[in-house]
Structure 1
Amino acid sequence: MNLPVSSVLYTPSWHAELELGYARFGASTRPVLRRHKGPLRVQKHLYAEGPEVCQHIIVHPPGGIAGGDRLDITASVGTNAWAQLTSPGAAKWYRAAGPAYQQLKLHVAAGATLEWMPQETIVYSAAQAELQTVIELEGDARLLYWDVVALGRPAAGERFDRGHFQSRLDIRRDGRALWHERQRVSGDDGLLDSPIGLDGQPVFATLLITGTLDPELLQRCRELPSKVRGDLTQLPDLLVARCLASEALHARDWLIALWTLLRPALLGREALAPRIWST
């Protein structure tokens, strides 16, 4: 059967946009902007910790990202507000003939706090995932940001032997760079197994939090029992934690354990895990 030329050349794709805004009213943080286009949403805002912290769960209904898809997410946290953003499950980047994109822009005003804590990103073999994140902090704004990336699906016997994953992350305070990073891993790249690369581990994770940690607590963080190979580095105004793991679950457990210690010390609130992580 011969298909029409138009059906051969046409590849369905989604362009989804989500724009969020938060503001402080008295003792409460409230969402003041929620605009979307395409298959990208947030569920009802939650106040598991009381009115000061507004929690939103970002949902991508298609359940996966295919070639040609583009996700654009923007969030702005106003003065003295506190927003916590997470996801209900793993983001899956499927194998594709062309690249798919995600662009994330976050702005945190003076006195405000943003916690960006999605669940893991799974990059299938032969996927072409390209991510860019820009975070702008004003004055004494506070940030906790993490990501977990799993290359391939080891449990299904799939190695990341084709395609690529690339990302760019920029964090600036009042226009001054706090963190600038670029990553690119290609399928079957030597860095996948090199001891100066991923050393045969399919999962890598990063946690970044603003502030300076007490040396004693920093040592406690380093001594946390875990199934990952990780460590922490204190930079000026930024603490960096990174790990390699055999499973995304191990990396996520390590990040949560760190967050439990770091949140009270650097953000001033006890850690209360979102219920969605347990479902």
Structure 2
Amino acid sequence: MPDTAASARPIYSATSPFPAAMPAGEGAVRAHPAWHASLALGFVDDGGTTRLVERRHSGPLRVQKPLYPEGGAVCHAIIVHPPGGVVGGDQLALSATVGEGARAFLTTPGAAKWYKANGKVSRQTVRLHAGAGAAIEWLPQETIFFDDAHVELEQDITLEAGASYIGCEILCMGRRASGESFRSGRVVQRTRIRHGGRLLWWDQGALTPHGIASPLGMDGRSVCATLLAVGAALPAAVLAQIRSDGAAAAAADASGMFGATQLKGLLVVRHLGDDSEAAREIMLAAWRTLRPHLLGRAPFDPRSWRT
């Protein structure tokens, strides 16, 4: 897809998530002015095996099949957006419900790309719910915002008593490796986490070129990454390990900054820098240390992150 929004958008049939050819031209764009795509997933525990029992979709947002790379206890779902990029006016909605005692790992096969707005705002909502004793891991790959993108991102996480959550996002403002910066546009974020009926985290803000340049914003850096973890409090030694590993990984990005803070029932890991690969390694290092203590599961390398 070209950087300034596609000159043609693919056609999707009701039976196949893969695009068929569409003739290029302005008429093709007008025929499909925006995608409105939604995906609803449901997971349940079946005698120690987590099964994907609900998979409802509308438009180009799919999970092709459940995967079990670490045995039946954790169901892995790779969420696919076949167009490969989001243009002005597109609307994406993902929801997942993980039943009592079930465990789900959700990720994406590649970076998400948000293209020039063309006068319209694009939106994505993510709503996740974990029942008592359940666990959700939401680790999408990085998100790239092209110059002049206008985007609204909303995440709403609801966890019942005893549930655990690890979520990560890596935001790249412009394509620095290609010499492109985020000179105009706006990215609005809202993230809300409730645990046991109590509001645990509420974060909202807007990234604009001015805010990115400001010392109170990203201080001129182009990549920001955040990992949030909810569950049992971490021992001091584990928190120290996360900080040590993060600082070591951050050294790969000369302009990088890193910090990890444990609040009541919540761990926050943040990174600012200019290198998306360094941000990925920093977040994965924190996740690998967290996972055994928070979820009782051994760490591993998500295969989709290495392809």
TM-score tier after normalising by the smaller chain length:
over 0.9
Deviation at 1:173, TM superposition (A): 1.3
Report the secondary structure of 2:285's partner residue: helix
Q: In structure 1, what is the Cα distance between the partners aligned to 2:92 and 2:160? A: 25
Percent of aligned pairs sharing the same letter: 46
**Does residue 1:199 correspond to 2:219, yes or no?**
yes
Kindly report the root-mean-square deviation, in angstroms, between the aligned alpha carbons of the 2 structures.
1.6
**Does residue 1:226 correspond to 2:257, yes or no?**
no
Alignment of structure 1 residues 12-161 onto 2, 5 Å: 12-96=33-117, 97-161=119-183
The one-letter code matched in structure 2 to 1:193 is: A
TM-score, normalising length from structure 1?
0.94
Q: Kindly tell me: are residues 8 and 103 of structure 1, through their superposed partners in 2, closer, same or farther at Cα, counting changes over 3 Å? A: closer
**Runs of 4+ residues deviating >6 angstroms:** 6-11
Structure 1 range deviating more: 210-219 or 162-171:
210-219
Deviations 1:72-106 (A, max 9, x none): 11100000000000000000000012100001111
Q: Which of residues 175, 178, 181 is equivalent to 2:203?
A: 181
Q: In structure 1, what is the Cα distance between the partners aligned to 2:93 and 2:29? A: 28
The one-letter code matched in structure 2 to 1:156 is: S
Q: In structure 1, what is the Cα distance between the partners aligned to 2:278 and 2:28? A: 43
The total of aligned residue pairs comes to 272
Deviations 1:44-64 (A, max 9, x none): 111111000000000000000
Structure 1 range deviating more: 154-163 or 9-18:
9-18
Structure 1 range deviating more: 99-108 or 215-224:
215-224
Structure 1 range deviating more: 169-178 or 76-85:
169-178
Report the secondary structure of 2:183's partner residue: coil
Deviations 1:234-271 (A, max 9, x none): 11001110010211111111010111111011111111
Q: Kindly tell me: are residues 62 and 9 of structure 1, through their superposed partners in 2, closer, same or farther at Cα, counting changes over 3 Å? A: closer
Q: Kindly tell me: are residues 172 and 53 of structure 1, through their superposed partners in 2, closer, same or farther at Cα, counting changes over 3 Å? A: same
**Does residue 1:277 correspond to 2:305, yes or no?**
yes
Q: In structure 2, what is the Cα distance between the partners aligned to 1:32 and 1:55? A: 13
Deviation at 1:11, TM superposition (A): 6.7
Q: In structure 1, what is the Cα distance between the partners aligned to 2:65 and 2:29? A: 40
Q: Kindly tell me: are residues 11 and 29 of structure 1, through their superposed partners in 2, closer, same or farther at Cα, counting changes over 3 Å? A: closer
More strand by share: 1
Q: Kindly tell me: are residues 98 and 51 of structure 1, through their superposed partners in 2, closer, same or farther at Cα, counting changes over 3 Å? A: same
Deviation at 1:8, TM superposition (A): 10
Q: In structure 1, what is the Cα distance between the partners aligned to 2:29 and 2:85? A: 22
Deviation at 1:12, TM superposition (A): 0.9
Report the secondary structure of 1:158's partner residue: coil
Find the counterpart in structure 2 of residue 3 from structure 1: none
The one-letter code matched in structure 1 to 2:218 is: L
Report the secondary structure of 1:206's partner residue: strand
TM-score, normalising length from structure 2?
0.86
Deviation at 1:213, TM superposition (A): 1.2
Unaligned runs of 5+ in 2: 1-26, 251-255
Find the counterpart in structure 1 of residue 21 from structure 2: none
Deviation at 1:278, TM superposition (A): 1.2
Deviation at 1:193, TM superposition (A): 2.2
Q: In structure 2, what is the Cα distance between the partners aligned to 1:242 and 1:8? A: 39
The one-letter code matched in structure 2 to 1:265 is: H
Q: In structure 2, what is the Cα distance between the partners aligned to 1:56 and 1:216? A: 32
